[in-house]
Amino acid sequence: MADTYLKLVNAQPLDRVAKAAGLPRPVPLRRYVSGEPLVPGPVLVLGSSPGTQAVASILLEWNLDVRRHLRPKEKFGAAVVILDELRDPAQLSGAFLELGSVLRQLRPGGRVITISRPTAGATAPQTAAARHAVDGALRSLAKELRGGATANGILLGDDVQTDASGVGAALEFLLSGKSAYVDGQFITIGTSAGTQARRRSAPLAGRTAVVTGAARGIGAEIVRVLHRDGAHIIAVDVPAAGEQLAAVANGVGGTALQVDVTAPDAAGRILRHAATRYGSLDIMVHNAGITRDRLLANMDPARWNSVLAVNLESQLRINEELLASGDFSSAGSIVCLASTSGIAGNRGQTNYAASKAGVIGMVRATADALGGSARSINAVAPGFIETDMTAKIPFATREVARRLSSLQQGGLPVDVAEAVAFLASAGSAGVNGQVLRVCGQNLVGA
Amino acid sequence: MNSLPSEQNPTPESGAGAVGKPRAAVVIGGNRIPFARSGGSYAYSSNQDMLTAALDGLVARFGLQGDRIGEVAAGAVLKHSRDFNLTREAVLGSALAADTPAYDVQQACATGLETVIGLSNKIKLGQIESGIAGGVDSASDAPVAVSEGLRRVLLDFSRARTTSQKLAALRKLRPADLSPDAPSTAEPRTGLSMGEHQAITTARWNITRQAQDELSLASHVRMAEAYDRGFFDDLVTPFRGVSRDSNLRPDTSLSKLGSLKPVFGRNLADEATMTAGNSTPLTDGAAVVLLGSEEYARENNLPMLANVVDAEAAAVDFVHGKEGLLMAPVYAMPRLLQRNNMTFDDFDFFEIHEAFAGTVLASLAAWEDDDFCRKQLGLPGALGTVDRSKLNVNGSSLAAGHPFAATGARIVASLAKSLAEKGSGRGLISVCAAGGQGVVAILEAR
Amino acid sequence: MEQLLHAPPRLTALYAAALARSAKPGRSREAGSLRLPTDRHRLDGVTAVPEKVREFQHLMRSPQTAFLPSGYLHIVAFPVAVSVLARPDFPLPLLGMIHLRNEVQHLRPVPTDARLSVVAGVENLRPHRSGTQVDVVVEVEAAGVPVWTGRSTYLAKGIQASSTLSAPSTPAEPGRDEGLPAFPTGEWSLSADTGRRYAAVSGDYNPIHLGVPSARLLGMKRPIAHGMYLASRMVAEAGPGEDAGFRWTVEFRTPVPLPSKILLSAQVDRSDSAKWHGAEVVAWDPRRRRAHFVGRLEALG
């Protein structure tokens, strides 16, 4: 699981060799550590719209060092570019060129965040062009940044202003180390729901979360992060994984629930457990998943069916019962684990990719159905994450997979977990139906 | 989820019955590790390892991390002298609060049931609000003692003060003293193994090979079914990679059982009928039960599966063959029923510990025998017939195996769950024990 | 006549002398010429060794009381009895005599530290279908009062007593015994060192009980359990649990080779008030279903 190459190129004497040879030079990413500053330096706010001031106000409220301009050679930690009133591609140059002029002053682990509006909302071709242009510029910028810095965008629905609570939630996530492995992505704030943005150390306090597949790997990390954010944890896994599951639950003061998510009564048992023990269920994280890789030519029914049953059908069935149940909170959030394989496809994974693409379809349709309620459903699509599962990939393939991303390394389970925690809390703030990739801007599937 | 302070002694609840009766003691749930045949998967696990694992699984199931439980009582039949404080040591190694008091109990195979009774009584009296009862045994990691000769020499040597005294002590050592004493299941007073004792009882009651094999088959079939429908999902937590009892043979049949050679009773005049198939094997495992007052359960949003109503212990004079070694429950039963003004007809479940198939069948036969019940039990006639369809409905020790001290807690947790699933009715437990002892108990649905 | 011994006889010395004598040819063994010495041997001031008593109680699994167990009193008296059998005028060979039967009346409790007198003599020489049998009668007194009496019957094989003596009334040829109880009440696992452990406690190092080489010296393939070990365990197991006031007999049918596992049936007669009245004991070889010994215990008076 250890990324030996990453360690070697960050230590003498090989760091110089790597630089001279033009080899990929991944750096350790800036990850969230409780108590550390949100951003490693001043935050540059660029933009001229009225919404710009609202964003600056949010950042000031968080006691950040907010600047409209930088002194020459002054280092900074993040730039937020507000483009919420774009109507013409010609309006792009000012903000982007100004950003470019200071980009070399961005600290390692720095952030660039654009705030613009989705193309789909625009009717005028010029407006749509301008809005979509941000997409290309931002994704390219993400590939140019070095030193573990990332670039991501926030898209505001047409009725949403820059002071919406969802903007604060997304800004906090993207500025912080919690988004370390999220790069070149957009997060859409669909509504102005939610309360005023306020940084809280335990954003999920008082909420009860179910995490399936919690016994190990990414699931265990999701449990840890949700617990860190204040949630009560119900750790779910198959009975056979009970020993590790118990250890995970005991590590966070949660409860272990041994249930096979494919069982017909799985939803009932989860809901009953949550209702009896915690009063209700607020967050459902569908993390349980399996791979049974085979080229389609060699695929057998057992492999195909089991992957679909665990990764997709169980989520469909459980969601159906959850959303029909009064025990699932009226402001409940569902977060589903998809995969970049489900977006871009992956050789040998027709079954897996089918299941994960199916999850994305399910999330979008369910989100539409939830429109108008305070409930939400979103997905996280991890790319190459360093787990026991990916450790089994042959060495050469694994090395290639690691370096294929803009961050030139694999992500860690905690990166996925942070994204899940963000969606679990931002779900109540107008983020719905999103598929957030945690892939380090992997080239695959772009 | 701390225990209620004892000064909050509540008023008697309706569940405890009439005014003046003590309050109810409730079975909240249970946990055990899968039982494994001795010398198998747990060959290198100690009693403390297994009991700690069982406790940790219970803690995880009910979210008891860091809680101070009123008392933990458990024990082991085969116990190392270093494990003099086995239960307390297991508590210290578990996720429970370190200020949870604990003590060891040993009543041979009735240990687990006796701990349930003892702690239930303390709960009923208001001395404690919560308790964990249970037991553990390892026939694999059993203590091996030095011979009596070597032991005496070593003790004398340690008491000796001068060199010549020490040499004198050592001079008493004989080569034969160096061979160790392995533990045996022989009754100390008779030298007969438990199986040989049961073989006598089995023959006395004319229990046929066929009847014993049928009972054994039913145990395996019912337990396998119970596993398949997830009955044990919240009763068992895997351990050391084992997720089902390793003795369980879902595919056994009467013809397979019928092909086994007798292992006990071969020295008797009658035909030997007891085989490895209709006798429990030496087994390793641990089981625990969470008990509490109604207030404790409500305060902590814990389920209440069943009430512990009453219990009775009995012993028989087996030493010179007056009664069978494992027949004591037969004597305890009428006393318990009489005190509670009940008959067999008042019960929906019968859990009769299957030390041997012959034990169960001889007990049933004795209760049905008019002459025996008059002469030995002092009853006006036969005690009654146990409806076989209500007997050991989820399998018992013939299928699960029998880690001596753990069996009582296994049975109590399973029966309480059966009662909770049914939602009404009562269950009767009967456990025989070495030394001619037996304990019976009544649980009641809530 | 009573012959007063001045020092406790040493069993090993007596056995050694007997062994030497048995090696000498030419002693008359003709029928009709056998006469028993009428002298009885007496030894005063006999005391038990407390440590050995404890070990005896431990070996027999009997509780440690402040009184001497019935079987241990036999040990206390035994050297005096052997001193009679080792007399030059005793007509049968001491070594190789087979212990057939024991009858003991344990009249009064004997404190462990009591000073005892032991009187032993032989009587009742009579034929047996495979030789000649004789009774050794022992009385133990404390402060002049009898506390324990024992009668041990021994068989000297191959030596025919005079036909003028009383007719044989001996048990039938040992064989598969159909009269054995249907069910055992216990099993004794007798390890190979059973004889040596009993010897260490009793001081009776009769070679036939000790090990394979020494048993072979006396013509046995394997050592056999000491009759008094078996009898003492029987008393400990089926006795009244009191320190005196009972009588017991044991008949040895077939030797118990060492090591072995034997089955036992002890039927104890107790009244409803749990008072002990007596017991019947049979021990047998489980495979051949042949009795090893049969015992009976009764409360006195």
Measured from the Cβ of residue A280, the count of other Cβ atoms closer than 10 Å reads: 16
DSSP C17: H
DSSP A346: -
Q: Please, which chains are in contact with A (at least 3 CB pairs closer than 8 A)?
A: B
> B332-356 as b/e, with b when 16 or more CB fall inside 10 Å?
bbbebbeeeebebeebbbbbbbbbb
Give yes or no for a contact between C135 and C155, defined as CB atoms under 8 angstroms apart: no
CA–CA gap between residue B427 and residue B412 (Å, rounded): 9
The predicted-structure confidence for A66-100, as pLDDT tens digits, reads as follows 999 999 999 999 999 999 999 999 999 999 999 99
Q: Give contacts of B268 with chain C, Cβ < 8 Å.
A: 182-183
Q: Is residue C255 part of a domain?
A: yes
Q: Which residue has the tokens 């452990």?
A: C197
CA–CA gap between residue A424 and residue B417 (Å, rounded): 34
Is the confidence metric ipTM above 0.90 for this complex?
no
Residues 222-241 (C) with a CB less than 8 A from some CB of B: 238
Residue A238 pLDDT grade (very low, low, confident, very high; cuts 50, 70, 90): very high
The predicted-structure confidence for C89-111, as pLDDT tens digits, reads as follows 898 888 778 899 999 999 999 99
Rounded to a whole number of angstroms, the distance from the CA of A243 to the nearest CA of chain B is 5
Q: Is residue C167 part of a domain?
A: no
CA–CA gap between residue A234 and residue A213 (Å, rounded): 11
Q: Please, which chains are in contact with C (at least 3 CB pairs closer than 8 A)?
A: B
Task: State the residue range of the domain holding C101.
Answer: 2-26+35-162+174-299
Residues 251-290 (A) with a CB less than 8 A from some CB of B: 253-260, 263, 265, 276-279
Measured from the Cβ of residue C33, the count of other Cβ atoms closer than 10 Å reads: 10
Chain-centroid distance of CA A239 in Å reads 29
Asked whether A and C share 3 or more beta-carbon pairs under 8 angstroms, the answer is: no
Which CATH number do you get for residue C179? 3.10.129.10
Q: Give contacts of A258 with chain B, Cβ < 8 Å.
A: 233-234, 237
Per-residue pLDDT averaged across A102-107, rounded? 95
The partner residue sitting opposite B190, judged by closest CB among C187, C268, C287, is C187
Distances (CA, A) of C6 to A196, C2, C15, C117, C143: 113, 13, 19, 12, 18
Q: What 3-state class would DSSP assign to B332?
A: helix
Instruction: Provide the CATH topology of domain A33-189.
Output: Rossmann fold (3.40.50)
Cβ within 8 Å, pair B321-C267 = yes
Q: What 3-state class would DSSP assign to A299?
A: coil
Q: Which of B371, B373, B306, B370 is nearest to B333 (CA)?
A: B373
Cβ within 8 Å, pair B57-A276 = no
- How large is the angle between the packed helices A413-426 and A165-175, nearest 10 degrees? 170
The partner residue sitting opposite B237, judged by closest CB among A242, A253, A276, is A242
**Catalytic position from the list B109, B197, B220, B373:** B109
DSSP B78: S
Position C169 pLDDT exceeds 80: no
Give yes or no for a contact between B235 and B34, defined as CB atoms under 8 angstroms apart: no
Closest residue of B to A252, CA-based? B65
What are the pLDDT tens digits along chain B (446 aa)? 444 444 444 444 444 444 567 899 999 999 999 999 999 999 999 999 999 999 999 999 999 999 999 999 999 999 888 899 999 999 999 999 999 999 999 999 999 999 999 999 999 999 999 999 999 999 888 777 777 778 888 888 888 888 888 888 888 877 777 776 666 678 888 999 999 999 999 999 999 999 999 999 999 999 999 999 999 999 999 999 999 999 999 999 999 999 999 999 998 888 999 999 999 999 999 999 999 999 999 999 999 999 999 999 999 999 988 899 999 999 999 999 999 999 999 999 999 999 999 999 999 999 999 999 999 999 999 999 999 999 999 999 999 999 999 999 999 999 999 999 999 999 999 999 999 999 999 999 99
The predicted-structure confidence for A124-141, as pLDDT tens digits, reads as follows 999 999 999 999 999 999
Q: Which two tokens stand for residue A31?
A: 């990850």
C193 has a chain B CB within 8 A of its CB: yes
Q: Give contacts of C266 with chain B, Cβ < 8 Å.
A: 320-321
Q: Which two tokens stand for residue A315?
A: 């989520």
Distances (CA, A) of B131 to A132, B117, B412: 64, 11, 14
H or E stretch covering B74: strand B71-74
Cβ within 8 Å, pair A240-B57 = no
Residue C97 burial by Cβ neighbours in a 10 Å radius (0-12, 13-18, 19+): buried
Mutation to test the B interface, candidates A216, A250, A277, most B Cβ within 10 Å: A250
Position C26 pLDDT exceeds 70: no
Beta strand A76-82 with A106-116 is parallel
DSSP state letters, C58-105: HHTT----SB--HHHHHHHHHHHHHHHHTSTT--S-STT-EEEEEEEE
Name the average pLDDT for chain A. Answer: 92
Q: Which residue has the tokens 């019976």?
A: B440
A363 has a chain B CB within 8 A of its CB: no
Give me the residues paired with residue A118 across strands. none
CATH superfamily of B194-229+309-445: Thiolase/Chalcone synthase (3.40.47.10)
pLDDT for residue B12: 42
Strands (E), A304-410: 328-337, 376-382
Q: Give contacts of B190 with chain C, Cβ < 8 Å.
A: 185-187
Cβ within 8 Å, pair C187-B200 = no
Q: Which two tokens stand for residue B55?
A: 């406790």
Q: Which two tokens stand for residue A28?
A: 């350790």
The partner residue sitting opposite B320, judged by closest CB among C187, C188, C268, is C268
Measured from the Cβ of residue C219, the count of other Cβ atoms closer than 10 Å reads: 8
pLDDT for residue B183: 63
> A401-436 as b/e, with b when 16 or more CB fall inside 10 Å?
bbbbbbbbbbbbbbbbbbbbbbbbbbbbbbbbbbbb
Q: Is residue C270 part of a domain?
A: yes
Q: What is the CATH number assigned to the segment(s) A208-438?
A: 3.40.50.720
CA–CA gap between residue B139 and residue B286 (Å, rounded): 12
Rounded to a whole number of angstroms, the distance from the CA of A214 to the nearest CA of chain B is 13
Give me the residues paired with residue A208 across strands. A232
Cα dihedral C172, C177, C178, C180 sign: positive
CA–CA gap between residue C74 and residue A250 (Å, rounded): 67
Asked whether B and A share 3 or more beta-carbon pairs under 8 angstroms, the answer is: yes
Closest residue of C to B184, CA-based? C189
Rounded to a whole number of angstroms, the distance from the CA of A242 to the nearest CA of chain B is 5
Rounded to a whole number of angstroms, the distance from the CA of A145 to the nearest CA of chain B is 45
Chain-centroid distance of CA B239 in Å reads 19
CATH code 3.40.50.720 region(s) in chain A = 33-189, 208-438
Cβ within 8 Å, pair A242-B63 = no
Position A309 pLDDT exceeds 90: yes
Cβ within 8 Å, pair A242-B243 = yes
CA–CA gap between residue C129 and residue C131 (Å, rounded): 6
The predicted-structure confidence for A247-285, as pLDDT tens digits, reads as follows 999 999 999 999 999 999 999 999 999 999 999 999 999
CA–CA gap between residue C68 and residue C156 (Å, rounded): 31
H or E stretch covering B28: strand B25-32
Count the helices and strands in chain C (H runs, E runs): 6, 11
Rounded to a whole number of angstroms, the distance from the CA of B247 to the nearest CA of chain C is 29
CA–CA gap between residue A392 and residue A60 (Å, rounded): 46
Q: Which of C119, C148, C117 is nearest to C136 (CA)?
A: C119
Q: Which two tokens stand for residue A182?
A: 């999220």
Q: Which two tokens stand for residue A154?
A: 């926030």
Q: Which of B325, B323, B326, B347 is nearest to B336 (CA)?
A: B347
Give the phi and the psi of residue A90 in degrees, each rounded to 5. -65, -25
Q: Which of B409, B403, B353 is nearest to B37 (CA)?
A: B403
Q: Which two tokens stand for residue C14?
A: 């007596």
Cβ within 8 Å, pair B60-A263 = no
Q: Give contacts of C183 with chain B, Cβ < 8 Å.
A: 200, 203-204, 268, 321
Based on the structure, what is the number of domains in chain C?
1
Rounded to a whole number of angstroms, the distance from the CA of B384 to the nearest CA of chain C is 27
The partner residue sitting opposite C188, judged by closest CB among B191, B193, B203, is B191
Query: Which residues of chain B approach chain A closer than 8 Å at the C-beta?
Result: 53, 56-57, 59-63, 65-66, 95, 230, 232-234, 236-241, 243, 301-303
Position C190 pLDDT exceeds 60: yes
